[in-house]
Amino acid sequence: MGAIKQLKNGKFKITVYDHTGKRHRNVFEKHKYAKRYVDKIENKKSEQRLINAGLMNNKSSVENSIAEFILTKVDLKEKSKKKYKRVLEQFGVFCSQENIIDMDEFTRDHADKFWATLTKSGAAPKTTNFYLMVVKALFENEVNRDRLIKSPLSHIKLLKEKVKSLIEQQEEYYDTNEIKSFFNVKMEDSDRQVFQTLLLTGLRISELESLQWDRSIDFKNKLIKVRIYEGYNTKNATSERDVPMTDLLYNMLSKMNARNKHGYVFTTEKGEVVTERRLLDKCKIIAEKAGIKKNATLHKWRHTFASHVINTEIKYEEKQYLMGHAPESMTDRYTKIDPKSLQVRLTKLDELIK
């Protein structure tokens, strides 16, 4: 036990050893402050004994747990990492306001208050749910590390997301007239090649940027191979797939390949790898010239592919495969799809541009 001794000047001197064996000596104005200091160190020693005996879970500070959790997300793209960090920073601020130092101090009442703060923020349900999912994952990480028995957020359910109206759904993709107007605008060949590929494949922007002639383009089988390789990760494992080339896309890529057989497929006129920022600027400029009133975004081309592919007699599970979406059931997971067999049906998409 720590010792408290009153000095001649009326102050109180403490001597106490912590759980690491380090000796602490301090002087306090009042006995209650001296006792509080000693009790804090003695309690920590008792907790450590219980932890060492396997009778109590180890503790971790909020700051330390967040840092550890972020390290488990090293495979995420930089944009996704920033989103995670932003959420965790907000969670850290909440804990600081509630005077929560260690993760095990976060109770169900804190969870309810945190959830109430999120739902009152005015953010869209999708954004609110993302915040909740990240913080839930943080606490599940604590459970997996045997520092908590159960997550204090386990009782909180995600918000139901609003079902979009037909008008709202139409805002998310380009219709046939808008597509034809877009491609009737005079533009650089390199831009036309990018936007045609996005329309005819449904590729994510990051996937299109990563395509290389040697790795990704299979002219023999008329396939674009989306793969994980050193320096590039797909969104998830199910994103790896073979996307059939339509006739128009095959002819376009063949002409491009005749000029450049190595390196990245899509580059600027100066030979630089295309970037999302540059493509977005180009997309908006061309859409404005085409008289398209909708907000022009790059991701809208992916929605456009998904919306128009239903007119090509492509089945639902085939569409999921082409989009690189995770299967919704074990049956879907084991459904074998031959991408080459989809080529003829997908070629109907060429009519959107012609």
SS3 category, 16: strand
Specify whether the backbone of 291 is left (phi greater than 0), alpha (psi in -120 to 50) or beta.
Answer: left
Q: Beta strands of 151-196 (E only): which ranges?
A: none
- For residue 171, pLDDT over 70 is answered with no
Residue 34 and residue 105 share a domain: no
- For residue 14, pLDDT over 60 is answered with yes
Q: Quote the mean pLDDT of the chain.
A: 86
Residue 268 and residue 331 share a domain: yes
Residue 200's pLDDT band (cuts 50, 70, 90): very high
What is the mean predicted confidence (pLDDT) over 8-34? Answer: 89
Task: Select the highest-mean-pLDDT range: 169-183, 250-264, 276-290.
Answer: 276-290
Residue 316 and residue 180 share a domain: yes
Please report the pLDDT score of residue 239 as a whole number.
Answer: 83
Residue 208 and residue 313 share a domain: yes
- For residue 263, pLDDT over 60 is answered with yes
Are the C-beta atoms of residues 345 and 311 closer than 8 Å to each other? no
Residue 212 and residue 331 share a domain: yes
Is residue 243 situated within a structural domain?
Answer: yes
Task: Assign residue 314 the CATH number of its domain.
Answer: 1.10.443.10
Please report the pLDDT score of residue 330 as a whole number.
Answer: 43
**Measured distance CA(300)–CA(199) in Å, rounded:** 9
What is the mean predicted confidence (pLDDT) over 107-122? Answer: 90
- For residue 333, pLDDT over 70 is answered with no
Please report the pLDDT score of residue 165 as a whole number.
Answer: 53
pLDDT digits (tens, 9 = 90+) for 139-151: 999 888 878 878 9
Q: Which residue has the tokens 């400029």?
A: 285
Is residue 159 situated within a structural domain?
Answer: no
Please report the pLDDT score of residue 74 as a whole number.
Answer: 77
Residue 340's pLDDT band (cuts 50, 70, 90): confident
**Measured distance CA(138)–CA(153) in Å, rounded:** 10
Is residue 250 situated within a structural domain?
Answer: yes
Is residue 134 situated within a structural domain?
Answer: yes
Last residue of a domain, one of 129, 144, 159: 144
Q: Beta strands of the chain (E only): which ranges?
A: 3-6, 12-17, 23-28, 217-218, 223-226, 241-244
Is residue 153 situated within a structural domain?
Answer: no
pTM of the predicted protein model: 0.57
123 compared with 156, residue with greater pLDDT:
156
Last residue of a domain, one of 12, 27, 52: 52
**Measured distance CA(115)–CA(252) in Å, rounded:** 51
Last residue of a domain, one of 91, 110, 144: 144
Residue 10's pLDDT band (cuts 50, 70, 90): very high
209 compared with 54, residue with greater pLDDT:
209
Please report the pLDDT score of residue 320 as a whole number.
Answer: 87
Residue 66 and residue 48 share a domain: no
Task: Assign residue 73 the CATH number of its domain.
Answer: 1.10.150
Residue 303 and residue 190 share a domain: yes
For 116-130, 161-175, 219-233, 339-353, which range has the lowest pLDDT when averaged over its residues? 161-175
304 compared with 270, residue with greater pLDDT:
304
Residue 231 and residue 125 share a domain: no
Q: What percent of the chain has pLDDT over 90?
A: 53
SS3 category, 227: coil
Which has the closest alpha carbon to 292: 187, 177, 192, 210? 177
SS3 category, 171: coil
Residue 340 and residue 227 share a domain: yes
Residue 181 and residue 249 share a domain: yes
Is residue 289 situated within a structural domain?
Answer: yes
Please report the pLDDT score of residue 163 as a whole number.
Answer: 55
Is residue 149 situated within a structural domain?
Answer: no
Task: Tell me the two tokens of residue 88.
Answer: 């965790």
pLDDT digits (tens, 9 = 90+) for 41-65: 888 787 777 666 766 556 789 999 9
- For residue 328, pLDDT over 90 is answered with no
- For residue 329, pLDDT over 70 is answered with no
The count of structural domains within the chain is 3
Please report the pLDDT score of residue 219 as a whole number.
Answer: 95
SS3 category, 153: coil
Is residue 75 situated within a structural domain?
Answer: yes
36 compared with 182, residue with greater pLDDT:
182
Residue 9 and residue 82 share a domain: no
Which one-letter amino acid corresponds to residue 7? L
Task: Tell me the two tokens of residue 264.
Answer: 């990245």
- For residue 334, pLDDT over 60 is answered with no
The domain of 67 spans 62-144
Residue 177 and residue 119 share a domain: no
